[in-house]
Chain A
Amino acid sequence: GAVVSQHPSWVICKSGTSVKIECRSLDFQATTMFWYRQFPKQSLMLMATSNEGSKATYEQGVEKDKFLINHASLTLSTLTVTSAHPEDSSFYICSADSGRGYEQFFGPGTRLTVL
């Protein structure tokens, strides 16, 4: 089956630093990847849609200069949280479009804690 990995699985950083999270599709090519954020005890919220070779599309209310997304290849998308603050602490999950039109494969998630 299709596998999506994320790295790192958890990260702790100091306020003001930047953190990069990688999302990889391991055995399939993903033209489109999605980045979600999950607040405690809440559902996933779509942050942005990442298309290989083009600029990401951000959801309303998501700061594109703060959450930089790069989808440089068909198997890798990165999310960089710039100048992180404690309120950015969250669980970030990516998913990749299988290309079959109805299924997305989710990564295991990255827990970010900003001190």
Chain B
Amino acid sequence: GEDVEQSLFLSVREGDSSVINCTYTDSSSTYLYWYKQEPGAGLQLLTYIFSNMDMKQDQRLTVLLNKKDKHLSLRIADTQTGDSAIYFCAETDYNNNDMRFGAGTRLTVKP
């Protein structure tokens, strides 16, 4: 099957930038997403990018997409303790029929 992979853990100091990486295998991926999950809560959509884009910026968040290498990253500038959570990368095909998730990256922000 098609896979989405992420590193499981990332630890940064408050004020630093965080970069969470994701790789996927489905060449027909059309939409790529980043979700945030805080403890005990459901997923919150942070941002998404269409496969015909290579960058999207939204306040402190920057998404970079390298379609050739099937690599997606999420950069959080000026990381705060409130950013501590699990971040999931996900992708769907054109029909949005099946959203495939990575295992999630646990971001820990130290004061």
Contact = CB atoms under 8 A, between A and B. Distances in A.
B99 A43 contact: no
Interface in A30-66: 34, 42-44, 46, 49
Interface string B25-56: 00000010001000011111100101000000
B42 A42 contact: no
Given A93-B43, A106-B44, A109-B41, A49 B97 contact: yes
Interface stretch (B64-72, B74-82, B100-108): B100-108
Contacts of A95: 43, 99
A66 B97 CA distance: 23
B73 to A, nearest CB: 18
Interface centre among A44, A46, A49, A102 (most CB of B within 10 A): A44
Contacts of B40: 109, 111
Contacts of A49: 97-98
Contact of A43 (B41, B44, B92, B101): B101
Contacts of B102: 43
Contacts of B44: 106
Contact of A103 (B42, B45, B101): B45
Interface residues of A, number: 20
Nearest to B94: A101
Contact of B48 (A93, A103, A109): A103
Interface of A: 6, 34, 42-44, 46, 49, 93, 95, 97, 101-109, 111
26 contacts: A42-B103, A42-B104, A43-B102, A44-B43, A46-B98, A46-B99, A49-B97, A49-B98, A93-B42, A93-B43, A95-B99, A97-B96, A101-B96, A102-B31, A102-B50, A102-B92, A102-B96, A103-B45, A104-B96, A104-B99, A106-B35, A106-B44, A106-B45, A108-B42, A109-B41, A111-B40
